[in-house]
């Protein structure tokens, strides 16, 4: 039995109740054996056994009072996964599906993603099973305050710097920041994705979506192609999807789909970005509202579509950008995309494709940009926000965007070069995993058994 399969087998037994975590570890470990064979030091130092284990899992009770005066209780978490190359960094997710297994998957991914950015940030993730849907503005505020009452003692500008993820955007970061300040009397960069008035960075809001498109453009450029004129499918309609759509237009492409948890939009004229922002960022409404404002668009409710199938991936497109959530592209979706002539997939969401979908993309030879490389622009720009906070300065949109663009180029080049080094040119899953892993593993070895 190989070293990677030994570690995986052991985890399968101990984490059978955490399928997302197992999937994330399997995806990484499946690609690391060539490195383990080449460099016995990793096995000798038991790096895999150590790296799959979070340094610390903090779980806490979050209690708050709703608008009816009733007490509500949620579970809060922060998983401080790995600090070998820098302070813990990663988002907070508020969604009813959040549990320890989901946050372990996200935190594990974050280690390698953060390493790939080339900056000094460790991996973490956190959040709560709190469901923001249907909550009033004051309920959101009280929840965020209650969450920070627990979290504040574990974070700090050089300790752990959380940010947004699903259900956490600028509004929630503002409430969390205010609560931290009131609890500690400290005005410091303990969160990223802040408003521009109190230490936020220009272009952070746009960064993940822009970065995904920069990454796709790099993959295509290497193949003598570009996004110009490409018809694109985007899923999701939150932060990542919105700025993916915006950048696709800037690159001369035409995004024709978006989705939310209730349904999908197909707009053959191209997604109307103004309407999308009005519906999602301003009104926080469902996409049925998009259909009201753009009657010629097609709206397909999730409920009308067979279980396990995803309408957005049935629209014939040249390129696909999953930007909603994990496991939103299964093998059948992948086959449909490929059969319809899709030549490029770049992942904005974390682990949007199942392992067999990934294998189908790799086998087809299309340009496939895995999440931890393609969506690293968000956290990379968070690090730029930390840098501006530490220097008590702020940079222009153009400066931050140029740095983001360069970081995405570097991630692509490093992942592609590593894939070549290991005899699998074009396999950016292997390239990104090995490249991200190596830096963290070497730092762990250098720092000793702690």
Is residue 18 involved in binding ligand NDP (CB under 6 A)? no
> What's the token pair of residue 392?
């008590």
Complex with ligand 2IT: residue 37 or 195, whichever CB lies closer = 195
Of 141-149, 234-242, 292-300, 442-450, the segment contacting ligand NDP by CB under 6 A is 234-242
Complex with ligand NDP: residue 149 or 240, whichever CB lies closer = 240
Closest CA to 118 of 425, 415, 427: 415
For residues 398, 403, 405, 408, the Cα torsion angle rounded to the nearest 10 degrees is -160
- Least distance between ligand 2IT and beta carbon 234 (Å): 17
Query: Residue 310 and residue 195: Cα distance in Å, rounded?
Result: 34
Is residue 165 involved in binding ligand NDP (CB under 6 A)? yes
Is residue 260 involved in binding ligand NDP (CB under 6 A)? yes
SS3 of residue 143 by DSSP: helix
Is residue 123 involved in binding ligand NDP (CB under 6 A)? no
Q: What residues line the site for ligand 2IT (CB under 6 A)?
A: 89-91, 113, 163, 165, 192, 350, 378-379, 382
Please state, in angstroms and as integers, the Cα–Cα distance from residue 348 to each residue in 135, 219, 389, 404, following that order: 27, 15, 26, 15
DSSP 357-409: HHHHHHHHT-EEE-HHHHTTHHHHHHHHHHHHHHTT----HHHHHHHHHHHHH
Complex with ligand 2IT: residue 205 or 230, whichever CB lies closer = 205
Is residue 176 involved in binding ligand NDP (CB under 6 A)? no
**90 contacts which partner out of ligand NDP, ligand 2IT, none, CB within 5 to 8 A by kind?**
ligand 2IT
- Least distance between ligand 2IT and beta carbon 163 (Å): 3
Complex with ligand 2IT: residue 104 or 230, whichever CB lies closer = 104
**89 contacts which partner out of ligand NDP, ligand 2IT, none, CB within 5 to 8 A by kind?**
ligand 2IT
Question: Which residues from 354-413 bind ligand NDP, rule CB under 6 A?
Answer: 375, 378
> What's the token pair of residue 292?
């009201």
**238 contacts which partner out of ligand NDP, ligand 2IT, none, CB within 5 to 8 A by kind?**
ligand NDP
User: What are the residue numbers of the active site?
Assistant: 125
- Least distance between ligand 2IT and beta carbon 192 (Å): 5
Is residue 200 involved in binding ligand NDP (CB under 6 A)? no
Is residue 192 involved in binding ligand NDP (CB under 6 A)? no
Q: Which single residue brings its beta carbon nearest to ligand NDP? A: 238
**237 contacts which partner out of ligand NDP, ligand 2IT, none, CB within 5 to 8 A by kind?**
ligand NDP
Sheet of 160-163, strands arranged across: 56-65, 71-82, 122-128, 88-94, 160-163
Complex with ligand 2IT: residue 150 or 382, whichever CB lies closer = 382
Identify the H or E element spanning 76: strand 71-82
Q: Which single residue brings its beta carbon nearest to ligand 2IT? A: 91
- Least distance between ligand NDP and beta carbon 234 (Å): 10
Is residue 323 involved in binding ligand NDP (CB under 6 A)? yes
- Least distance between ligand NDP and beta carbon 94 (Å): 8
Gap between the terminal Cα atoms of the chain: 28
SS3 of residue 235 by DSSP: coil
- Least distance between ligand NDP and beta carbon 184 (Å): 25
Closest CA to 204 of 254, 179, 240, 175: 240
**240 contacts which partner out of ligand 2IT, ligand NDP, none, CB within 5 to 8 A by kind?**
ligand NDP
Q: Report the alpha-carbon angle 127-128-131, nearest 5.
A: 125
Strands 344-346, 319-321: parallel, antiparallel or unpaired by DSSP?
parallel
Strand partners, 60: 76
CB 430, CB 419: distance < 8 Å: yes
- Least distance between ligand NDP and beta carbon 262 (Å): 6
- Least distance between ligand 2IT and beta carbon 125 (Å): 7
Please state, in angstroms and as integers, the Cα–Cα distance from residue 116 to each residue in 53, 132, 189, 418, following that order: 20, 32, 23, 12
**211 contacts which partner out of ligand 2IT, ligand NDP, none, CB within 5 to 8 A by kind?**
none
CB atoms within 10 A of CB 414: 19
CB 388, CB 423: distance < 8 Å: no
SS3 of residue 165 by DSSP: strand
Of 195-203, 342-350, 353-361, 387-395, the segment contacting ligand NDP by CB under 6 A is 342-350
CB atoms within 10 A of CB 269: 10
Binding site for ligand NDP (CB under 6 A): 164-167, 169, 208, 236-241, 260-262, 323-325, 348-350, 375, 378
């Amino acid at each position: 039995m190989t070293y990677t399969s030994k570690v995986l087998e052991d985890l399968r037994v101990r984490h059978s109740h955490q399928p997302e975590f197992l999937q994330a570890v399997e995806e990484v470990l499946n690609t690391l054996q060539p490195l383990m064979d080449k460099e016995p030091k990793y096995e000798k130092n038991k790096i895999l056994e150590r790296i799959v284990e979070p340094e610390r899992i903090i779980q806490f009770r979050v209690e708050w009072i709703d608008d009816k005066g009733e007490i509500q209780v949620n579970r809060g978490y922060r998983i401080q996964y790995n600090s070998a190359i820098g302070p813990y960094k990663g988002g907070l997710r508020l969604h009813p599906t959040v549990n320890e297994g989901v946050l372990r998957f996200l935190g594990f991914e974050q280690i390698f993603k953060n390493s790939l950015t080339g900056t000094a940030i460790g991996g973490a993730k956190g959040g709560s099973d709190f469901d923001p849907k249907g909550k009033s503005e004051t309920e959101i505020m009280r929840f965020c305050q209650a969450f920070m009452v627990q979290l504040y003692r574990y974070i700090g500008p050089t300790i752990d710097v959380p940010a947004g993820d699903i259900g956490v955007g600028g509004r929630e970061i503002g409430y969390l920041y205010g609560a931290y300040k009131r609890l500690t009397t400290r005005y410091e960069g303990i969160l990223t994705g802040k408003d521009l008035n109190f230490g936020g960075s220009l272009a952070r809001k746009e960064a993940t979506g822009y970065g995904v498109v920069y990454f796709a453009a790099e993959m295509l450029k290497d193949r003598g192609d570009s996004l110009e004129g490409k018809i694109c499918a985007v899923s999701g309609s939150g932060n990542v999807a919105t700025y993916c759509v915006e950048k696709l237009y800037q690159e001369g492409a035409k995004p024709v789909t978006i989705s939310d948890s209730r349904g999908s939009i197909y707009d053959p004229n191209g997604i109307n970005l103004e309407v999308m922002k009005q519906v999602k960022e301003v009104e926080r409404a469902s996409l049925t509202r998009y259909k009201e404002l753009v009657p010629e668009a097609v709206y397909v409710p999730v409920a009308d579509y067979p279980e396990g199938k995803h309408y957005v991936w049935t629209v014939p497109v040249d390129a696909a950008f999953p930007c909603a959530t994990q496991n939103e592209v299964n093998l059948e979706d992948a086959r449909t995309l490929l059969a319809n002539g899709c030549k490029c997939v770049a992942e904005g969401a974390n682990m949007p494709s199942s392992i067999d979908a990934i294998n189908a993309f790799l086998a087809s030879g299309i340009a496939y940009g895995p999440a931890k490389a393609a969506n690293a622009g968000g956290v990379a720009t968070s690090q730029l926000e930390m840098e501006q906070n530490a220097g008590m300065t702020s940079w222009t949109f153009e400066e931050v965007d140029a740095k983001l663009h360069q970081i995405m180029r570097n991630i692509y080049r490093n992942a592609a070069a590593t894939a070549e080094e290991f005899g699998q040119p074009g396999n950016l899953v292997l390239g990104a995993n090995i490249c991200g892993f190596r830096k963290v593993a070497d730092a762990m070895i250098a720092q000793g058994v702690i």
